[in-house]
Structure 1
């Protein structure tokens, strides 16, 4: 996995509210439907509407995109704005098993097994329901593109198969730059909580390359999964630190404004936490957009308090 040299500055992140329903405390995550709600875009005027020619004929997405680009054009050199479309993978076989056995028994026993006689949980794959959820995301993007949504300029994806396939079904064939063929960047740090659960171990690099030959795998990505440990599992605070490191990498090296990240429930929980967003649990296949303000500040990155990884429970 690629590592970067210590920097004399770092990024500080915050979520900008007032643009998406998901960031509003009044929105109930358990009933919210991104597919029927324009990904959650709040219909509203923007102060930049007056600088957009024929703004009264533009769609809400077109006016939103103009506003975000204007924010970046007028921001100081140490401030930038990005819109992150965070997508959770569709249902996997491990999700079905957890529902069947219950979370307590899943975490205690079944998640440590390779699977059953009929299905494998190692680097778990999508069920037919999961594939259908990814197709829903594809169709939602296709409709929103007709309505002028700013499409992702960069695509990132977890190395776990359920995300690799979800991203492929979601974005292939949309007819926008970067999707024909679909060429996302596979990022090791974008994976689910690491350790213990066999569904969270990844396939070898060569297997990923063989199944997804158009995908770009980041430099330093190892052939075998050197992060997975069958005995120790990553704590929530360690996972938060990992995703803060990921965001430091993305904001430092990616100048694009609209980004897609296809990941996992735990991954998105940590991303939202690091971004200062309210907790918002996604169903499998769900998508949440977040408007992020990044401020580059001097000095070394402050230390995060990280709890130790814990062993397999008895």
Structure 2
């Protein structure tokens, strides 16, 4: 797989880091399995900032307003080579592929079922959201409305994966919020904002024409090809390869987008790699989940250090007949 270059001059590169202390998800004591992003105000920590005395001397501003001012101050007082952005990372709602993996089990899914177009229950090529997935996106929509009342810094840029489950999740999440940039909602579709590519048919995107037909108001980034250039039917991108791709993605965003507050609607693997690139602790999101991350980027002279990138992988060999996993998966679902 060839990764499109970020456009960052070859004589410099970005070094990314997470600025901790602002969100509960930054802290090792926060358990991803039990964390509720809705009830915790996206994880925003109630605390004072050193900028409060001049911005909010009478203690009339909300926590979000004070955080927004703090981030803007960081940018204003930083040297030209340093910038800060607050990223709102949202995972898509449940898709039919998520249901199928639970039905068959991860081993059978990886070695057999994920390579097919679907089963008797439906098709998962560039799969759609289930009713539960739509409900999870509606939950995110309501969560955003709640934070808007608390005066969250509005996203100034909206980016979305080209896979249908993300295109749909973003639409349900942000349409009707009345935030700037959502009436009409016209996010930018970015090729690299993808799940791990290859083998799994759920991770093969639709054609450019099909995306435009279903989401005519969405903007497509320049150079976006008609057919999927990243999906390979024979091999799957390694985790380190995916993380290298997201280093290029973030370098592209930080090099070309001057906005500070950004929304990304993406995937579990995508968000895992973004967090790794910016030095955040591992924090797995459930389908429909949201995690904000304050990121510091510094443009450093010289080319980026070489990354160790494992080669793409072939599908694993099935340890037993994958069709025997069906009843086992159904039993698991029945108990869930």
Q: What's the TM-score, normalizing by structure 2? A: 0.92
Give the SS at the match of 1:178: coil
User: Conserved in 2, the CA contact under 8 Å of 1:2 and 1:220?
Assistant: no
Equivalent of 2:216, from 213, 233, 238? Answer: 213
Q: Which residue of 1 aligns with 2:130?
A: 127
Structure 1 runs, 4 residues or longer, greater than 3 Å off: 1-6
Equivalent of 2:278, from 268, 275, 280? Answer: 275
* Structure 2 CA distance for aligned equivalents of residues 254 and 226 of structure 1: 24
Q: Which residue of 2 aligns with 1:292?
A: 295
Q: Which residue of 2 aligns with 1:21?
A: 24
Larger-Rg structure: 2
Q: Which residue of 1 aligns with 2:185?
A: 182
Deviation at 1:7, TM superposition (A): 2.5
Equivalent of 2:103, from 96, 100, 104? Answer: 100
Equivalent of 1:170, from 170, 173, 183? Answer: 173
Equivalent of 1:226, from 203, 226, 229? Answer: 229
Give the SS at the match of 2:90: strand
Deviation at 1:271, TM superposition (A): 0.5
Give the SS at the match of 1:232: coil
Deviation at 1:151, TM superposition (A): 1.1
1:52 matches 2:61: no
* Structure 2 CA distance for aligned equivalents of residues 47 and 4 of structure 1: 35
Equivalent of 2:115, from 104, 112, 115? Answer: 112
Uncovered stretches (5+) of structure 1, i.e. residues with no partner: none
* Structure 2 CA distance for aligned equivalents of residues 4 and 151 of structure 1: 26
1:137 matches 2:159: no
When the two chains are superposed, the root-mean-square deviation of aligned CA atoms in Å is: 1.1
Equivalent of 1:38, from 34, 38, 41? Answer: 41
* Structure 2 CA distance for aligned equivalents of residues 217 and 154 of structure 1: 14
Uncovered stretches (5+) of structure 2, i.e. residues with no partner: 318-336
What is the number of equivalent residue pairs in this alignment?
Answer: 314
